[in-house]
Amino acid sequence: MSTATAAAPSANVESTVAGFTKDLRTLRDEIGTMIVGQEEIVEGVVMCLLGGGHALLEGVPGLGKTMLVRTLAETIHADFSRIQFTPDLMPADIVGTNVIVEDGSGGKRFEFQKGPLFANIVLADEINRATPKTQSALLEAMSEGSVTVAKQTYKLEKPFFVLATQNPLEMEGTYPLPEAQLDRFFFKLVVQFPNKAALHTILDRTTSDTQPKPRAVLHKERIMEMRELVRKVPLARQIQDYAVRVVLATHPDNPEATPQSKKFMRYGASPRGLQSVILAAKIRALLEGRYAVAIDDIRHVAPPALRHRMIMNFEGEAEGIEPDAILAEILRATKEA
């Protein structure tokens, strides 16, 4: 494993990192009491939360995506809200609207009635079943942490975290998410079907007379402190350069591009994708008790951070080429500095 060359951290830093690692593992393990056989998905969702971003989960119905976000809210003392996206859902149903109310003197005035978006953790369930107009209502909230109604801007309480689920696009009644909105998601996580052992555990927990219940193990104020620590993790220049070259290689017209990237890509990952890679790599280092980012951290987080930000050309779509296959080639071909 290639790690950054840095001075030994002070005792105070070591204690802070140890506390972060302990709390993060506690949160991950507590969520694991409810979510079976999806360790990578749980870890990815927690990374999105601590990175200050949002998560997009893709998978067929019935794999526990809704239970995951509800469990997350219960484990961190946070307000939870669920929005079921449907084709007839309107933007005002999400952000809220001004309504007429009577005051004490019998007069009438407009008062803003908050929508379900005003929560710490918001589950946007089956987001790709809503029309693009309604999907775009989330853009300002996800990017700026605020919503604007009738020229009045309302700030959302921090932490604000959107966990959206979507069904695969080949299923009927779905709309592709706009590229601008996809880019707002820190990670895109693909939820796989559980294996045989996991299915037995799921049945044991859900079909018996005793069912586990998650405990609240962290306060949302602690989440904000952990977010600040993530950004303080040092990053060696050669590690940053490696991440930059990986992202550049997703662009077909760049000298760093690999053969598959040149052949099948129309447009590569954005600078926001690179930011997600770096922040996620810092979180992974802290999760393993390190106060320095390694090349392996970059390799581990690159697929979920970049796969949804890569746009295939016609040939790539026609041949069914997946972004993960191109990323695998890029990570093999990109040499350490």
What's the CATH code of the domain at 335?
1.10.8.80
For residues 168 and 209, membership in a common domain is answered with yes
| pLDDT greater than 80 at residue 333 | yes
**CATH number, position 174:** 3.40.50.300
Could you say which of 200, 231, 262 is where a domain stops? 231
Structural domain includes residue 107 = no
For residues 140 and 198, membership in a common domain is answered with yes
Residue 171: what pLDDT?
Answer: 64
Average pLDDT, integer, range 237-260: 94
Structural domain includes residue 280 = yes
The β-bridge partners of 297 are none
Q: Which long-range contacts (CB under 8 A, 24 or more apart) does 248-257 make?
A: 249/330, 249/333, 249/334, 250/306, 250/309, 250/310, 250/326, 250/327, 250/330, 252/313, 256/334
CA distance 101 to 109: 6
pTM over 0.85: yes
The pLDDT confidence band at residue 111, using thresholds 50, 70 and 90, is confident
Residue 271: what pLDDT?
Answer: 93
For residues 227 and 237, membership in a common domain is answered with no
The pLDDT confidence band at residue 151, using thresholds 50, 70 and 90, is confident
Structural domain includes residue 94 = no
The pLDDT confidence band at residue 285, using thresholds 50, 70 and 90, is very high
Could you say which of 178, 202, 231 is where a domain stops? 231
The pLDDT confidence band at residue 186, using thresholds 50, 70 and 90, is very high
Residue type, 185: F
For residues 147 and 181, membership in a common domain is answered with yes
Average pLDDT, integer, range 27-37: 82
Structural domain includes residue 1 = no
Domain limits for position 336: 233-337
Q: Counting runs of H as helices and runs of E as strands, what totals does the chain give? A: 15, 11
The angle subtended at Cα 294 by Cα 292 and Cα 300, nearest 5°, is 125
Residue 2: what pLDDT?
Answer: 47
| pLDDT greater than 80 at residue 106 | no
For residues 215 and 255, membership in a common domain is answered with no
Most confident option among 57-66, 126-135, 248-257: 248-257
The β-bridge partners of 111 are 99
For residues 189 and 316, membership in a common domain is answered with no
| Residue tagged 């402190």 (tokens) | 225
Could you say which of 198, 231, 264 is where a domain stops? 231
Take residue 314 and report the two structure tokens written for it. 């016609």
Residue 241: what pLDDT?
Answer: 95
Structural domain includes residue 206 = yes
For residues 216 and 257, membership in a common domain is answered with no
Please report the sign of the dihedral spanned by the C-alpha atoms of residue 52, residue 53, residue 59, residue 61. positive
Total domains in the fold of the chain: 2
CA distance 262 to 258: 6
Mean predicted lDDT score pLDDT of the chain: 86
